[in-house]
Chain A
Amino acid sequence: MKPGNGNGTPKNFDELIERATPWLSGEGPQAGMVLSTRMRLARNLQSVPFTHRARDEQLQGVLMSVVAAAERAPGFQNGLLLKMNDIGTLERQILVERHLVSHELGDGTRPRGLLAGADERLSLMINEEDHLRLQAMAPGFQLAESWAVADAADDELDEALDFAFSDETGYLTSCPTNAGTGLRASVLVHLPALVLMDEIPKVLKGISQVGLNVRGLYGEHSEVMGNLFQISNQTTLGVSERDSIESLERVVRQILEHEERARERMMRDARVQIEDKVWRAYGTLRYCRSIQAREVINLCSAVRLGVALGMSGLCPLPVMSGLLVLTQPAHLQRYAGRELTPAERNVYRAQRVREQLAAAGRDADS
Chain B
Amino acid sequence: MLCQICGKNAASVHFTEINDNKMSELHLCERCAEEKGMQGPSKKQKFDIADLLAGMVDGMTSTEEERVGHVQCPRCGMAYSAFKETGRLGCAECYQAFQFQLRPLLRRIHGDTHHKGKVPTRDGEGATRSRQIQRLHDELQRAVEREDFERAAGIRDEVKRLEHEAQEARQTPSPRKTQE
Q: Are these two chains actual partners, yes or no?
A: yes
Segment of A152-160, A278-286, A303-311 engaged in the interface with chain B: A152-160
For B178, the chain A residues whose CB sits under 8 A away are 162
**Residues 97-130 of B at the A interface (beta carbon under 8 Å):** 102, 105-106, 109-123, 126-127, 130
Asked whether A167 lies within 8 Å of B130 as measured between CB atoms, the reply is yes
- Indicate with 1 or 0, residue by residue over A185-216, a CB within 8 angstroms of chain B CB atoms: 00000000000000001101100110100111
For A205, the chain B residues whose CB sits under 8 A away are 15, 17, 38, 40
Asked whether A238 lies within 8 Å of B17 as measured between CB atoms, the reply is no
- Indicate with 1 or 0, residue by residue over A302-335, a CB within 8 angstroms of chain B CB atoms: 0000000000000000000000000000000000
> A176 CA to B101 CA in the complex, in Å?
12
For B42, the chain A residues whose CB sits under 8 A away are 224
Chain B, residue nearest A44 (CB)? B92
| Most B C-beta atoms less than 10 A away, residue of A48, A161, A174 | A174
> A231 CA to B120 CA in the complex, in Å?
27
Q: Is the interface of B mostly helix, strand, loop or mixed?
A: loop
A236 interfacial by beta-carbon distance below 8 Å: yes
B89 interfacial by beta-carbon distance below 8 Å: yes
Partner of B40, one of A177, A183, A204: A204
Chain A, residue nearest B138 (CB)? A242
For B87, the chain A residues whose CB sits under 8 A away are 175
- Indicate with 1 or 0, residue by residue over A157-174, a CB within 8 angstroms of chain B CB atoms: 011011111111111101
Chain B: minimal CB distance from A165 (Å): 5
In this complex, the interface size class of chain B, counting residues with CB under 8 Å from chain A, is 35 or more
Segment of A49-57, A84-92, A265-273 engaged in the interface with chain B: A49-57
**Residues 60-92 of B at the A interface (beta carbon under 8 Å):** 75-76, 78, 86-92
Asked whether A159 lies within 8 Å of B115 as measured between CB atoms, the reply is no
With A165-B123, A202-B18 as given contacts, are A235 and B37 in contact (CB-CB < 8 Å)?
no
Asked whether A240 lies within 8 Å of B109 as measured between CB atoms, the reply is no
B45 interfacial by beta-carbon distance below 8 Å: yes
With A49-B90, A167-B130, A174-B89 as given contacts, are A240 and B76 in contact (CB-CB < 8 Å)?
no
With A53-B78, A205-B17 as given contacts, are A237 and B88 in contact (CB-CB < 8 Å)?
no
For A174, the chain B residues whose CB sits under 8 A away are 88-89
| Most A C-beta atoms less than 10 A away, residue of B16, B46, B137, B179 | B179
Other than the given A129-B88, A180-B110, 13 more pairs (CB < 8 A) read A47-B179, A49-B75, A53-B91, A154-B118, A176-B105, A180-B115, A202-B17, A208-B38, A209-B38, A235-B111, A236-B110, A238-B111, A238-B113
Interface residues of A (CB under 8 A from B): 44, 46-50, 52-53, 129, 151, 154-155, 158-159, 161-172, 174-177, 179-181, 183, 201-202, 204-205, 208-209, 211, 214-216, 221, 223-224, 229, 235-243
20 pairs from A and B in contact (CB 8 Å cutoff): A158-B120, A158-B121, A162-B178, A163-B120, A166-B92, A166-B115, A167-B126, A168-B114, A169-B113, A171-B115, A174-B88, A175-B88, A176-B105, A201-B15, A202-B17, A209-B36, A209-B38, A236-B110, A239-B110, A240-B137
